[in-house]
């Protein structure tokens, strides 16, 4: 952000959000891709697998063309007429819009290949591509410091080149290495209706998720302007980085949940849902608790002195709280998606989460600070999680009481036991003048001890210890 500037970074975030708003359809289609590809791969039906990929790829191409036409017709008009932007940056914002739209289309067309990679559980290739993407995006930031012309436009253009390269590598790898990942002419009206019905019901839930994130950015822009948008954008980056701690874990677990349902191994499916829920929270809490404690000095170290505001720090801290609340969603959602019957689930959960945007407007209208929106978001997602548990219990044969006992109770105990050290270390910078890095390391060590002793069972600690020991011996 130091190379781009606070105001330009806020402009980039809100203009990019106009395009990303269309992503709710892509995300819905992506969920269908994950479900059907993993399902037929689990059943070892290579013919249906090939047909599914071809049908999905055709749908993605049609959707990309449709998105380009719609966004070109309405996007520039919305930016010109409704977004609160500095007058001198409106021309640059339109360039950013075009680059963002191109990036969106490229990522959309690459989505079926990514779904194929995850369905095959090729996590080594997935990790390599993720690292390559991170390195290239870091290179963009470095190069940006040496750009002579408009850096806002350059930033959007360089990001486009990065995602073009990543998706090209993804498509080449899948086409050459994975069976069934070949685009052939195929059309089946009945099967297309089945996939479309699944995507349609999933669309509502996905749309609410996008409306929450992008709606929050737009509402913040209305009430507070692009400077606060920049603070929220940094919080989104922090949330994205924190989420990567468990997203790869879920990418590996999700195909197993679907495949176990496909072969009717419900017992294994129950184990996956319950254990992955608890493990993912502990994994996230282990690293996010120290980050919460030292958030302000970390932001200063990252962005530079003078660029970190009180609002930015609070946004980032409550973004971590939101991540901890929402981390439990994925295993439950994936279990429901595995069945293909998602209508009731999406409607009930979607209506609850959709209430965030009007409540956020009401909150700001009453004079609340901007970062209160993250607190509101966490509360709504906590309520939605209770509804998710109630809905999924009869689907996977796990009672509400059993879920609470095996997932919720260990998490609550971890939070209670860790809270004294967490509170002391959060205030020790003001009390004793401890260096922020020292506080962060101490919080990490204490949290690790609590997660191991309270969050894991004895057998799980033994397996973890044997894994670490064997890994060290092999080296």
Q: Taking the chain, what is the end-to-end CA distance rounded to the nearest angstrom? A: 40
Name the nearest CA neighbour of 62 among 238, 224, 187, 172. 187
Asked if residue 92 is part of any domain, the answer here is yes
Say what the pLDDT of residue 28 is.
66
411 touches 368 (CB < 8 A):
no
Dist CA 109 CA 132 (whole Å): 19
**Phi/psi of residue 442, nearest 5 degrees:** -60, -40
Asked if residue 438 is part of any domain, the answer here is no
Asked if residue 362 is part of any domain, the answer here is no
Say what the pLDDT of residue 431 is.
45
CA distances from 9 to 71, 96, 102, 238 (A): 22, 11, 19, 15
Say what the pLDDT of residue 10 is.
64
Cβ burial of 161 (10 Å; 0-12, 13-18, 19+) is middle
162 touches 155 (CB < 8 A):
no
- The number of folded domains in the chain is 1
Asked if residue 18 is part of any domain, the answer here is yes
Contacts for 456 with CB less than 8 Å, ≥ 6 apart: 282, 464
What are the tens digits of pLDDT across the range 423-450? Answer: 887 776 554 455 777 888 888 899 998 8
Give the length of the chain.
475
Asked if residue 257 is part of any domain, the answer here is no
Asked if residue 261 is part of any domain, the answer here is no
Contacts for 85 with CB less than 8 Å, ≥ 6 apart: 11, 14, 15, 79, 93, 226
Residue showing tokens 């994205």: 240
| Domain that residue 45 falls in | 1-187
Q: Is 346 helix (H, G, I), strand (E, B) or coil?
A: helix
Q: Is 149 helix (H, G, I), strand (E, B) or coil?
A: coil
Dist CA 406 CA 386 (whole Å): 15
Name the nearest CA neighbour of 392 among 279, 278, 269. 269
Asked if residue 120 is part of any domain, the answer here is yes
* pLDDT tens for each residue of the chain, 475 residues long: 555 555 566 666 666 666 665 666 676 677 778 788 888 888 777 788 888 888 888 888 888 888 888 888 887 777 777 676 777 777 777 888 888 888 888 988 888 888 888 888 787 888 788 888 888 888 887 877 776 677 778 888 888 899 899 999 999 998 888 887 777 777 777 777 777 777 776 767 677 777 777 778 788 887 877 777 777 777 777 777 777 767 777 777 888 888 888 888 888 888 888 888 899 899 889 888 888 888 888 888 777 777 777 878 888 888 888 888 888 888 888 888 887 777 788 888 888 888 888 888 888 888 888 888 888 989 998 898 888 888 878 877 788 888 888 888 999 999 999 888 878 877 765 544 557 778 888 888 999 988 888 888 878 788 778 776 665 555 5
Asked if residue 80 is part of any domain, the answer here is yes
């Amino acid at each position: 952000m130091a190379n781009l500037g606070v105001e330009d970074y806020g402009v980039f975030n809100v203009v990019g959000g106009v395009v990303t708003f269309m992503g709710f359809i892509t995300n819905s289609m992506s969920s269908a891709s994950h479900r059907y590809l993993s399902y037929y791969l689990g059943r070892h039906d290579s013919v249906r697998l090939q047909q599914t990929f071809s049908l999905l790829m055709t749908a993605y191409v049609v959707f990309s063309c449709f998105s380009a036409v719609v966004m070109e017709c309405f996007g520039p008009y919305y930016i010109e007429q409704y977004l609160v932007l500095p007058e001198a940056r409106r021309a640059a914002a339109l360039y950013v819009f075009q680059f963002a739209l191109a990036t969106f289309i490229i990522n959309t067309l690459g989505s079926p290949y990514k779904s194929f990679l995850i369905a095959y559980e090729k996590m080594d290739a997935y990790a390599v591509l993720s690292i390559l993407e991170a390195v290239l995006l870091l290179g963009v930031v470095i190069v940006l410091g040496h750009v002579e012309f408009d850096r806002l436009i350059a930033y959007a253009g360089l990001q486009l080149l990065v995602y073009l390269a990543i998706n090209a590598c993804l498509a080449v790898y899948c086409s050459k290495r994975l069976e069934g990942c070949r685009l052939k002419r195929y059309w089946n009206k009945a099967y297309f209706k089945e996939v479309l019905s699944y995507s349609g019901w999933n669309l509502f839930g996905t749309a609410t998720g996008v409306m929450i994130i992008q709606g929050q950015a737009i509402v913040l822009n209305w009430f507070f302007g692009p400077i606060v948008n920049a603070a929220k954008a940094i919080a989104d980056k922090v949330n994205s980085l924190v989420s990567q701690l468990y997203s790869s874990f879920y990418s590996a677990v999700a195909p197993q949940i679907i495949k176990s349902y496909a072969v009717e191994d419900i017992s294994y499916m129950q184990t996956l849902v319950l254990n992955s829920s608890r493990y993912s929270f502990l994994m996230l809490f282990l690293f996010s608790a120290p980050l919460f404690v030292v958030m302000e000095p970390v932001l200063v170290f990252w962005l530079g002195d003078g660029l970190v505001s009180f609002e930015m720090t609070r946004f980032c801290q409550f973004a971590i709280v939101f991540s901890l609340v929402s981390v439990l969603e994925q295993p439950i959602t994936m279990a429901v998606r595995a069945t293909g019957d998602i209508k009731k689930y999406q409607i009930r959960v979607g209506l609850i989460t959709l209430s965030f945007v009007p409540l956020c407007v009401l909150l700001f209208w009453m004079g609340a600070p901007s970062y209160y929106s993250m607190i509101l978001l966490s509360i709504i997602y906590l309520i939605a999680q209770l509804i998710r548990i109630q809905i999924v219990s009869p689907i996977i044969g796990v009672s509400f009481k059993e879920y609470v006992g095996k997932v919720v109770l260990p998490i609550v105990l971890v939070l209670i036991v860790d809270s004294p050290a967490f509170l002391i270390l959060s205030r020790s910078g003001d009390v004793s003048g401890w260096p922020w890095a020292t506080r962060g390391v101490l919080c990490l060590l204490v949290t690790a001890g609590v997660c191991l002793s309270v969050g894991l069972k004895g057998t799980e600690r033994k397996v973890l210890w044997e894994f670490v020991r064997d890994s060290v011996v092999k080296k």
